[in-house]
């Protein structure tokens, strides 16, 4: 039997299911609240262009936005409208089809984000 580094109580009749991170009942878990308040990285939004794995087509990537998924999807929709192209949100990263780095940086600065160009 393997011993886990986080091993311990998984279920308790006292509180029900337990969170493996903070070891509290799921109803009293503080892990999500701590993750929501902490800002990712240095607070700068990084805008870059990438072509890897896309058949040579360029995509503008926006990373480092500390927003909830719904707000992130809304901002992605606005950025796609500004650029006049398609895109998506994957794992907290906004992807806009095409090379629109300068337009995206201007739009993000209008929304009050600290946007920087990353990469070449």
Q: Which of 45, 60, 61, 48 is nearest to 115 (CA)?
A: 45
Q: Which of 17, 14, 113, 24 is nearest to 62 (CA)?
A: 113
Residue 25 pLDDT? 77
Residue 13 pLDDT? 63
User: Mapping DSSP to helix (H, G, I), strand (E, B) and coil, where does residue 109 land?
Assistant: helix
Task: Parse the chain into domains and list their residue ranges.
Answer: 7-38, 45-117
Q: Is 104:60 a contact under the CB 8 Å cutoff?
A: yes
Separation of CA 92 from chain center? 2
Q: Class assignment of domain 45-117? A: alpha beta
Residue ranges in the chain whose pLDDT is less than 50: 1
Q: Is 83:103 a contact under the CB 8 Å cutoff?
A: yes
Residue 32 pLDDT? 65
Residue 1 pLDDT? 45
Q: Which residue has the tokens 């892990």?
A: 31
Q: Can you give the C-alpha Rg of the chain in angstroms?
A: 19
Residue 10 pLDDT? 61
Q: Is 107:115 a contact under the CB 8 Å cutoff?
A: no
Residue 36 pLDDT? 52
């Amino acid at each position: 039997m393997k011993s886990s580094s986080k091993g311990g109580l998984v279920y308790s009749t006292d509180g029900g299911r337990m969170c493996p991170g903070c070891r509290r009942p799921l109803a009293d878990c503080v892990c999500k609240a701590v993750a929501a308040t902490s800002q990712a990285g240095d607070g700068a939004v990084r805008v870059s262009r990438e072509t890897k794995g896309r058949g040579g087509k360029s995509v503008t990537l926006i990373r480092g936005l500390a927003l909830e998924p719904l707000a992130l999807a809304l901002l992605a929709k606005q950025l796609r409208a500004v650029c006049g192209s398609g895109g998506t949100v994957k794992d907290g990263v906004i992807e806009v089809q095409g090379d629109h780095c300068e337009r995206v940086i201007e739009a993000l600065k209008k929304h009050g984000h600290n946007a920087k160009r990353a990469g070449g």
